[in-house]
Amino acid sequence: MGEKIQQIYEPLNSSTAIALVNRLGLFPENSALTCSEIGDGNLNYVFHIVDAGTGKGIIIKQALPYAKVVGESWPLTLKRAVIEANALKIFGSFCPELVPKVYYSDEQLAITVMEDLSHLKIARTGLIEEEEYPLLSKHIGQYLAKTFFYTSDFFLEPGKKKDFAKQFTNPELCKITEDLVFSDPFFDAETNDFESALRQDAETLWADEKLKLEAAKLKKSFMTEQEVLLHGDLHTGSIFASAEETKVIDPEFAFYGPAGFDLGQYLANLIFQVISRKGSSRENIYAHLKEVWETFEDEFSRLWKEEGKEVYCKTQGYLEYILEKTFTDSLGFAGCELIRRTIGLAHVKDLDSIAHEAERIHAKRTALQLGRALIINRQQEARIESLETIVKDSLLAASLS
């Protein structure tokens, strides 16, 4: 790889992106390079540079000094790029087959140059098209188990873990989640975004003190429990997939937080598929819900038994306590994600793309009811089988209402 090039920040365009990869020597000299900006996320630029001769590509992701989805009125730290590059490197060291390779990163330019995954499809898009991903949830279960275990106090020397926690202090991006996931959807906040047909449902939710107390507890957990290095935004739009491969991208929200958060976001985004699908095609998603938890549980338990360094790892019942806490928390976090993506800022295509208005509103109402049920009942539903039951009960209740 070429030497480090000192830069001052400027947003790239196609020609400066090509000039950059040439300076870095990432393609053979005189390659015929083309570049297009393909970013479809809320926050950043993504440049896809392809060598027309070989078809080989590379990705440059660049943070903008503001949130792209809102514009310059929402300034946002460029430091998220260095957080993302470092998180990709750390997660890639635990599960190289599940994370894109980082070729180069530059804090000043706020860029990460990484492996081109264009041969894969964003899992959300593929799931909406009802493509089957037989290995997706097994891979995500393994990813969650390894990133959880190897960044936790069960494996790391306590000083090293605290160094990591300091390195991944990410206050501005955490604040986005604190507001958009844990606060705004539970109040009549300006950022909320929903169709007028859902106003009554939103108002009922804002008046629900029992629900708000539980949301407050989950927010506190998110803000105070430094258990593991989280991805921080593990929805199905942050995962590339095919029938054989899975790659987790976009960890710019990475920070030390409660272990159940990533799992909860993944579960919730699968649940959007249960809600938006009809009939027997839901079964495939129920299988994913079970698979991700069971793989996580098996792999995490194996790592704990074989490599656990914490003195209490051999104490009867401690592993079971940690697993139960993680699962229970994940249900609560999943509930917040379901509510947030339905009436808060930054929706999901799974629901928004339902063309028929009455069906779409019905699906969104179901997501709200299910989100509430998961948050309120998370302590009583400590088994994976109960998750399928609670989802099925909510679908049934919604169809009767």
Ligand X SMILES: Nc1ncnc2c1ncn2[C@@H]1O[C@H](COP(=O)(O)OP(=O)(O)O)[C@@H](O)[C@H]1O
Ligand Y SMILES: CSC[C@H]1O[C@H](OP(=O)(O)O)[C@H](O)[C@@H]1O
User: What is the smallest separation between the CB atom of 76 and ligand Y, expressed in angstroms?
Assistant: 8
- The count of other CB atoms within 10 Å of the CB of residue 203 is 11
Q: 295 — alpha (psi -120 to 50), left (phi > 0) or beta?
A: alpha
Out of ligand X, ligand Y, none, which partner does residue 40 contact, by CB within 5 to 8 A per kind? ligand X
Binding mask 224-243 for ligand X (x = CB under 6 A): --------------x-----
The 3-state DSSP class for residue 389 equals: helix
Interface with ligand X in residues 43-82 (CB under 6 A): 43-44, 46, 59, 61
Binding mask 111-140 for ligand X (x = CB under 6 A): ---xxxxx---x------------------
* 303 annotated among ligand-binding-site residues: no
Out of ligand Y, ligand X, none, which partner does residue 176 contact, by CB within 5 to 8 A per kind? ligand Y
How does DSSP assign 17-74, residue by residue? HHHHHHHHT-S-TT--EEEEE---SSSEEEEEEEETTT--EEEEEEE-SEETTTEEEE
Q: Does 367 bind ligand X (CB under 6 A)?
A: no
Largest Cα span, the chain:
65
Interface with ligand Y in residues 56-115 (CB under 6 A): 67, 69
Which is closer to ligand X, CB of 43 or CB of 111? 43
* 393 annotated among ligand-binding-site residues: no
Q: Does 335 bind ligand X (CB under 6 A)?
A: no
Start-to-end CA distance of the chain, whole Å, equals 61
User: What is the smallest separation between the CB atom of 41 and ligand Y, expressed in angstroms?
Assistant: 3
Interface with ligand Y in residues 195-254 (CB under 6 A): 233, 237-238, 250
Q: Does 40 bind ligand X (CB under 6 A)?
A: yes
- The count of other CB atoms within 10 Å of the CB of residue 278 is 7
Residue of 41, 92, 308, 371 interacting with ligand Y (CB under 6 A): 41
How far is residue 122's CA from residue 242's CA, in Å, rounded to a whole number? 9
* 350 annotated among ligand-binding-site residues: no
Q: Does 190 bind ligand X (CB under 6 A)?
A: no
DSSP secondary structure letter of residue 101: P
Name beta bridge partners: 248: 239
Q: 242 — alpha (psi -120 to 50), left (phi > 0) or beta?
A: beta
Residue of 42, 108, 242, 386 interacting with ligand Y (CB under 6 A): 42
Token reading at 203: 């108002």
* 124 annotated among ligand-binding-site residues: no
Binding residues are 44, 61, 115-117, 233, 250-252, 340
Binding residues for ATP are 44, 61, 115-117, 250-252
